[in-house]
A and B are shown apart, each in its own frame.
Chain A
Amino acid sequence: MLENEATLEIQHLVSEFKPGDGDLLAALHKVQHHYGYVPKIAMRVVARQLRLSEARVYGAATFYSEFRLIPPPRTLVGWCSGPACRFKGGEHVRKALEAELGIGMGENTGDDKLGLHLAQCNGTCEHAPQIWVDGKVVGPLDAAKTVRLARELKEQP
């Protein structure tokens, strides 16, 4: 692998981590904290630093839904997959979101303006079924409200 500014920056970022898989998640977290996601080139740099294969790093990064492999959208919409939300019709909210935004879970719209991800219950079940827009809880929702909200999100600058 040839060095360039990007790889050197990542190399600097992960230089504290020791070879072996013990530091793998810590290294990936640090990269994600810095860039907001784990770029492909970073997996290569992390693999070299930890003396693991690139495939091993990729396997770990894809196993945990916490790690994003694509740049974060400007607005991140989290759909709560907790049991309370599901009992109260969260699936409809999900279908409405996916249909209106035209993307699936874990994907971004083409312009990276909006992204959808699968979130875990945070205990604010009084708002179920809910979504989180950039971490802010919105709910309770139904399909019609979701569609309206999604359109507003799409139209915001």
Chain B
Amino acid sequence: MARVKLNGHEIDVADGAPLVEVIKRAGVWISHLCYIDGLPPYAGCRSCLVAIEGARGLQLACTTKVADGMVVETETPEVKEMRQSVVAIINANHSDRCLTCHRRVKCMPGDICLRDDVVTHRCVTCSKNYRCELQTTNELLDMGFENVEPWVGEPRTYYQHAVPEPDRANPWLEFDPQMCIICTRCVRACDEIRHTGAITLAGRGFPTRIAFGAGGRVDESNCDFCGACIDVCPTATLMEKPNKWIARTEDWISTTCNSCSVGCTISIGTRDGRAVIVKPDRVNPVSADQVCVRGRFHYDAIPEKKRLQRHYVRRGPAGSAQFPAHWGELVEFAASRIKDVVSAHGAAAVGVLGSPFNTNEENYLAQKLARDVIGTPHVDSSGAAPDRAAARAIEAAFGTQALPSDMITLGRSDVVVVIADDLESSHNVAALRIKDAIVGNPLAPRNGKLVLVSALRGEMADFAEPYGGAWLRPRPGGEAAVADWLAKRARGEQAPSPALASGEIAGATAALDAAKDPAKTVSVVFATPRFDARAAAEGAKAAANLAIALRGERAAESLYILPAEANMNGMRDMGVEPRDGGMDAGAMLDAAASGALKALVVVGDNPLMFAPYRARTERALASLDALIVIDSELTDTAKLAHALFADVGTYAKAGTYSNAERRVNRLHAAQQAPGDARPALLALTDLANAVGGADTWAYAHPDDVTDEIAGRVPGYDRFRASFGMWGKARISSPATRSEVQSVAEGAMPERDGSMLLTAGRTLYTSIEGAAVHSPDADKLHREEFVEVHPADAAALRVSGGDEVTLVSPHGELTLRCMISGRVLEGVVFVPAYHDGGAVTSLLHGDGAAVAVQVKVRTPA
């Protein structure tokens, strides 16, 4: 502890803390245009000058460490004048019309300028006007006209050079170098916080500038569009492109990202009830100040007008048109259809599908509707089989699914084992925390080792072997066997080495031998595959075995199972899983296709997108007597509905999500409901009352459901609506045992001229966009391809961009191919959600690996 006198007030602070952070935390404003909290000082802008008693001249607050007895002044005339002259030098090479126009406070964006300013120099041509750190700094430093332009009459450097071209070529990040003051915050954030290193200082001396990659466009570099650089940019140089002119927000609402099971907390800025900007919300200890491209930009993946705004009913036969319907009419119609089926075929002829994108409240009511009101045990979700299988394997190993492992520990690990296809794309912020563990940052360098078991080449591979770890690359389907071999070896058993396409086993075993030291922090991370339930189960068993081999009794504390989708764990906790003899989704679809199941209530789910074997799903949905769908979009499934309730999107909902580690996160409604859309909770409540008789349910508010969940669902008792620590508390139970299970070798399909099909989550494709076949589901258009190995492409005589047709026993899929170094020879990769989950048409009903023939279209 050190006692510091700041502007006459004594404060106690941690000894050795950077003075600028101490000043900020004490609530005193200080200009600092290049400092990033938690990173080493760059001391480039010189605008944080302070007077320190006894020091020679003025000192920079960013490079000064506090010491006991320090006396600091930030507001003396001398300090202020010096800071003003520093900022004046920065202003000299920056557009200044937002500062110098005397009537700027009266103008709004889009106003006609009444002064003689050249159009390109007007304040309103900068989209960061009124939310710009440099502008604020000028204001708070009292930079009058004489300080902004201290050399009136002299030419200023900003006007002496040609304006560099802005880069507006990509859909998210706008790069306008004319606004840059070379603070290098973006360079350091990209390198030291994100470990990406896509930005650099280029050139030397006065013409130094910021550049992406090798100086080309942003989208040609290795930028992942996470937007960390946007958050730290003090000017309009790096900006979110969507909504940039209207992102002067009226309100900020904290909610939870729905893009993966990491569950980052995001803060949505709104204007007129519309979401216009997203920033990371530091309340979440895992995501903290970071999100990924999906969290930041997918809030407007589809325009609001593409969402369902009205409710629809289809009274005619299959294939006839859906007509708009009033709410009451629709509720009555849906309820009568359900009641007809129940009276004719019994309650067991009805199935209910929930969704991992639903809130816990919606899933709870969906299963309650099924079990308590309709009386059917058939409750599931169409894409849940792999995660359920993995969870059962974990429960068999440890006696609990809710592992005590906490993702905060990921970033502090000494050894990390990742068993996943491209974790970077599927769970971006978890991958970021693992990179933190490997390299750390310059203030807290780390020397973690990553052992990666993955058949697909992802960015994580760059953090394995180069940093003393290893990337073991089996052929697809061999991941569990490799992980289990590592476990056996760690237990001291003899076993033949696993088959690998590439990888240094010695590197992996060295890292794992070091991991046996009880003082080390070890993390084993398994991301469940998208479709293959067997691979998920075996992978989870192998991951558990490895954790047990390395950590014994405490294995459960270092094992992370990352489900595919946001609320997969919460969904199962709520009871959206087959229990008491209920059918799972695959069996329900089979039963529907054979005529045994007559009605399906689909709450936020989309079997045509998530359930493997699309032809079966199509047959099943077409033979139903009643298909009731509650969704916010007109998905393929919603198009077939007899009754279609328009739900609101995730960011217009209130409720809770339970993420991969069962951290219970709160969702608040940020957006307004479009048109007549009503939250699914209302649809479910009204439906229950119409089916079960009035007053079956009396939920007036989502909080009533939250409270009921707290009372009924094991583990959730703390999470009443009045809970004050959302995002901080988790549901976990200690392992009751640590049991090694045997891992079965997967039987892979014969190759004989065909290719092995793999599918998985990709970084840029938005599920909401893909569900409605939006041509902009992947706005970068990088993921609309089947990835083919160069050798295979040569054998097939295709080049990048050619159309190919994949043929499996169950269907065909035609799309363009991309020659890619990510896949192995003999393997093709299709993004799981591309074009409404088109890849499901090729898969077996159990999602198991399938061989496909690749046919090349010959030009006519």
Whether a CB of chain A sits under 8 angstroms from the CB of B623 is: no
**Chain B interface residue bracket vs A:** 20 to 34
* With A53-B196, A59-B202, A62-B204: A1-B821 Cβ-Cβ less than 8 Å: yes
Q: Does A57 count as interface, using CB distance less than 8 angstroms?
A: yes
B197 touches A51 (CB 8 A): no
Q: Is the CB of B198 within 8 A of A53?
A: yes
Q: Are A59 and B211 in contact (CB under 8 A)?
A: yes
Inter-chain contact B221/A51, CB cutoff 8 Å: no
Contact partner of B466 among A2, A19, A56, A64, CB < 8 A? A19
Alpha-carbon distance between A40 and B198 when the two chains are bound, in angstroms: 15
Name A59's closest neighbour in chain B (CB-CB).
Answer: B200
Distance between Cα atoms of A55 and B229 in the complex (Å)? 15
**Would B204 and A57 count as touching, CB distance under 8 A?**
no
B288 at the interface (CB under 8 A from A): no
List B contacts of A17 (CB < 8 A): none
Known: A19-B466, A53-B197. A58 touches B203 (CB 8 A): no
How distant is A27 from chain B, measured CB to nearest CB, in Å?
15
A65 to B208, CA, bound (A): 12
Q: In the complex, are the beta carbons of A63 and B204 less than 8 A apart?
A: yes
**CB atoms of A58 and B790 under 8 A apart:** no
Our pick among A3, A40, A51, A64 for the contact of B214 (Cβ within 8 Å) is A40
Residue from A40, A53, A62, A69 within 8 A of B222 (CB atoms): A53
Task: Judge if A44 is at the interface, Cβ distance under 8 Å.
Answer: yes
Q: How far is the CA of A51 from the CA of B195 in the complex (A)?
A: 12
- Decide if B347 is an interface residue (CB 8 Å cutoff): no
On whether the beta carbons of B202 and A62 are closer than 8 Å, the reply is yes
B199 lies within 8 A of chain A by Cβ:
yes
User: In the complex, which residues of chain A have a beta carbon less than 8 angstroms from the beta carbon of B214?
Assistant: 40, 43-44, 54-55, 57-58
Q: Does residue B191 face the partner (Cβ distance < 8 Å to A)?
A: yes
Say yes or no: B222 contacts A54, CB within 8 Å. yes
B203 and A62 contacting across the interface, CB-CB below 8 Å:
yes
Bound: A65/B205 CA distance, A: 11
CA of A56 to CA of B188 in the docked complex: distance in angstroms? 12
Residue of B nearest to A20 (CB): B466
Residues of A within 8 A of B196 (CB): 53
Say yes or no: A56 contacts B200, CB within 8 Å.
Answer: yes
Q: Please judge, given known A-B contacts A51-B462, A53-B191, A55-B221, whether A62 and B821 are in contact too, CB under 8 Å.
A: no
Residues of A contacting B222 in the complex (Cβ-Cβ under 8 angstroms):
53-55
Task: Please name all residues of chain B whose beta carbon is closer than 8 Å to the beta carbon of A58 when the two chains form the complex.
Answer: 200, 202, 211, 213-215
Q: How far does the alpha carbon of A44 sit from the alpha carbon of B214 in the complex, in Å?
A: 8
Chain A residue nearest to B790 in the complex (CB): A2
- Please measure, in the bound complex, the distance between the C-alpha atom of A59 and the C-alpha atom of B213, giving whole angstroms: 9
Contacting residues of chain B (55-74) with chain A, CB-CB under 8 angstroms: none
- The smallest C-beta distance from B517 to any residue of chain A, in angstroms, reads 26
User: Least Cβ distance of B800 to chain A in Å?
Assistant: 9
Within 8 A of B (CB), among A35-59: 40, 43-44, 51-59
Quick one: closest B residue to A40, CB to CB? Answer: B214
Contacting residues, chain A, for B466 (C-beta < 8 A): 19, 51
What is the distance, in angstroms, from B441's C-beta to the closest C-beta of chain A? 15
Which residues of A sit under 8 angstroms from B11, Cβ to Cβ? none
Which chain B residue shows the least CB distance to A69? B215
* A 112-137 binary contact with B (CB < 8 Å = 1; else 0): 00000000000000000000000000
Q: Given the interface contacts A1-B821, A62-B211, does A56 sit within 8 Å of B203 by beta carbon?
A: no
The answer for the CA separation of A100 and B675 in the assembled complex, in Å, is 65
Q: Give the docked Cα–Cα distance between A52 and B466 (Å).
A: 10
Q: B225 at interface (Cβ–Cβ under 8 A)?
A: no
B124-146 Cβ-contact flags toward A at 8 Å (1 or 0): 00000000000000000000000
Contacting pair A59 B819 (CB below 8 A): no
Alpha-carbon distance A40/B216, docked complex (angstroms):
10
A62 vs B209: C-alpha distance when bound (angstroms): 10
The residue that B821 contacts in the complex, of A2, A55, A59, with Cβ under 8 A, is A2
A157 to chain B, nearest CB (A): 33
Query: In the docked arrangement, what's the CA distance between A63 and B451, Å?
Result: 36
Q: Give the Cβ gap from B173 to chain A, nearest Cβ, in Å.
A: 15
Give every chain B residue within 8 A of A57 (Cβ-Cβ): 214
Give the complex CA separation of A44 and B220 in angstroms. 12
Inter-chain contacts of A54 with B (CB < 8 A): 198, 213-214, 221-222
CB of B212 within 8 A of chain A?
yes
Q: Given A58-B214, A59-B211, are A3 and B790 also a contact pair (CB < 8 Å)?
A: yes
Cα–Cα, bound, A1→B196 (Å): 16
Contacts of B202 in A (CB 8 A): 58-59, 62-63
A6-42 vs B, CB cutoff 8 Å, 1 = contact: the mask equals: 0000000000000100000000000000000000100
| Complexed CA–CA distance, A63 and B209 (Å) | 11
Q: For the complex, give the distance between the alpha carbons of A8 and B214 in Å.
A: 19
Q: Identify the interface centre among B198, B203, B214: most chain A CB within 10 Å of its CB.
A: B214
Known contacts: A51-B462, A51-B466, A55-B197. The answer to whether A62 contacts B215 by CB under 8 A is: yes
| B201 adjacent to chain A (CB < 8 Å) | yes
**Interface mask (B493-510 → A, CB under 8 Å = 1, otherwise 0):** 000000000000000000
Task: List the B side residues contacting A44 at CB < 8 Å.
Answer: 214
- Which residues of A are found within 8 Å of B203, using beta-carbon distances? 62-63
Q: Smallest CB-CB separation from B205: which chain A residue?
A: A63
Residues in A with CB closer than 8 Å to B201 are 59, 63
Q: Which residues of A contact B462 (CB under 8 A)?
A: 51
Q: Give the residue name and chain of the B residue nearest to A47 (CB).
A: B214
Residues of chain B with a CB closer than 8 A to A53's CB: 191, 196-198, 200, 222
Shortest distance in angstroms between A17's beta carbon and chain B's nearest beta carbon?
14
Q: Are A55 and B790 in contact (CB under 8 A)?
A: no
Assembly CA distance A59 to B820 (angstroms): 27
5 contacts between A and B (CB under 8 A): A44-B214, A53-B198, A59-B211, A62-B204, A63-B203
* B residues apposed to A, CB below 8 Å: 191, 196-204, 211-216, 221-222, 462, 466, 790, 819-821
Enumerate the 6 nearest inter-chain pairs by beta-carbon distance, A residue then B residue, closest first.
A53-B197, A59-B200, A55-B200, A62-B202, A58-B214, A51-B466
Other A-B pairs beyond A55-B200, A55-B222, 12, CB < 8 Å: A2-B790, A2-B819, A19-B466, A40-B214, A55-B197, A56-B197, A57-B214, A59-B200, A62-B204, A63-B201, A63-B204, A69-B215
